Structure 1
């Protein structure tokens, strides 16, 4: 498994497309939308908007890691790598973990960089840094866990890209990442409670402002962990079907 982890990290460090999706595009969106929504408002309102937008776009863009995960798994399948690994003594669980762990690390680094950008450029508060770090790890686990499931469910890159956009953009819209959740209709607020983006965004904002209680943190961690775990379970169930389509 260690060899798979090392190989995946090296491959992703050389992927310029990943750098674009994970850092460049989120920063462009953050700067653009802060400029639009803070134009002409007083300092207090400006700070509230920034404190919502920075974690909001961070949460939204972590789910775009699913594009790279789908691409990696499908390339391995079509190039025969999956079949060759399956012929070794390594178990499917360790194969999936070896592919999964590097992406958890990559997304965690992405979140840290985006929050540091917000701190340096917009002076966002980071009142509870330990809580923020813990939330970053569990969000990385969740987004990549769902990405793992998607990678073994879809048959083509285009299908993976389309579903990722639905999850990333649709989830952002319904979870209040673009519009404050209090301004949304009641039925959409209810739907938001079933989405991981909502829980991550709310917890990040509270931790930034120093108002996140341990009970609320634990609840959010449990919910996000459940989403990521469900993704891993789906991936393990789908692996035999994925292997059947692998080029030998």
Structure 2
């Protein structure tokens, strides 16, 4: 498994496209939208917009790691790597774990850099750093768990990219990452509560301003971890089917 982890990390460090999706694009979007939505506003209103946009775009863009996860998995499948697993001592599940762990590191670093950017450039508050750190880990687990599921079930890169965009952008729109949930129609406000993006965004905002209550923190963390576990378990259950198909 360690060999799989090292190989995956090496490939990702050499991938400039990942750097673009993970850091450059979210920073550009953050700067652009903060400039647009804070233009001509009072300082208090401007601060509220910034505190919404910084965690909102952080949550949205971590989902794009799914593109890299699906591309890597499909490459292994097309090269016959997955088919050869059955003839090696490596357990298929340890292989999945080895493919998953590097992306946990990558997303954790991505979240840390984007929040640090918000702090250094826009002086966003980070009043509850312990809660923010735990939420970042829970968000990382959730996103990569879903990414692993997507990587296992999709058959082509284009399908992976399309589904990632639907999950990332659709979740951002309905989860209140673009427009405050309070400004959305009532039925969309109800729908947003079924999306992990909503819980991550609300918890991050409250932790940044120091108003996140213990119950809300536990609830948001459990929801994020729970979604990640569901994705990971389904990926494990589906993997034997994929393995048989690859061998055939």
> Which bracket does the TM-score occupy, shorter chain normalised?
over 0.9
CA shift at 1:145, angstroms? 0.3
| Mapped partners of 1:14, 1:245: distance in 2 | 30
| Mapped partners of 2:246, 2:126: distance in 1 | 46
1:117 pairs with 2:117? yes
The equivalent of 1:81 in structure 2 is 81
The answer on whether the counterparts of 1:78 and 1:247 sit within 8 Å (CA) in structure 2 is no
| Mapped partners of 1:125, 1:104: distance in 2 | 25
CA shift at 1:147, angstroms? 0.5
Q: Which stretch of the first structure deviates more once superposed, 96-105 or 238-247? A: 238-247
CA shift at 1:67, angstroms? 0.3
CA shift at 1:95, angstroms? 1.2
The equivalent of 2:148 in structure 1 is 148
The answer on whether the counterparts of 1:148 and 1:235 sit within 8 Å (CA) in structure 2 is yes
1:3 pairs with 2:3? yes
| Mapped partners of 2:84, 2:221: distance in 1 | 37
| Mapped partners of 1:208, 1:200: distance in 2 | 12
The equivalent of 2:97 in structure 1 is 97
User: Within 5 Å, which residues of 2 pair with 1:17-56?
Assistant: 17-56=17-56
Query: Secondary structure of 2:127's match?
Result: coil
The answer on whether the counterparts of 1:149 and 1:234 sit within 8 Å (CA) in structure 2 is yes
CA shift at 1:247, angstroms? 6.2
- TM-score normalised over the length of structure 2: 0.98
Where does structure 1 lack aligned partners over 5 or more consecutive residues? none
The answer on whether the counterparts of 2:64 and 2:164 sit within 8 Å (CA) in structure 1 is yes
The answer on whether the counterparts of 2:86 and 2:92 sit within 8 Å (CA) in structure 1 is yes
CA shift at 1:203, angstroms? 0.3
The equivalent of 2:200 in structure 1 is 200
Runs of 4+ in 1 over 2 A off after TM superposition: 244-248
CA shift at 1:81, angstroms? 1.2
The equivalent of 1:224 in structure 2 is 224
CA shift at 1:77, angstroms? 0.2
The answer on whether the counterparts of 1:175 and 1:197 sit within 8 Å (CA) in structure 2 is yes
| Mapped partners of 1:51, 1:21: distance in 2 | 22
1:242 pairs with 2:239? no
How many residue pairs match? The answer is: 248
| Mapped partners of 2:116, 2:217: distance in 1 | 21
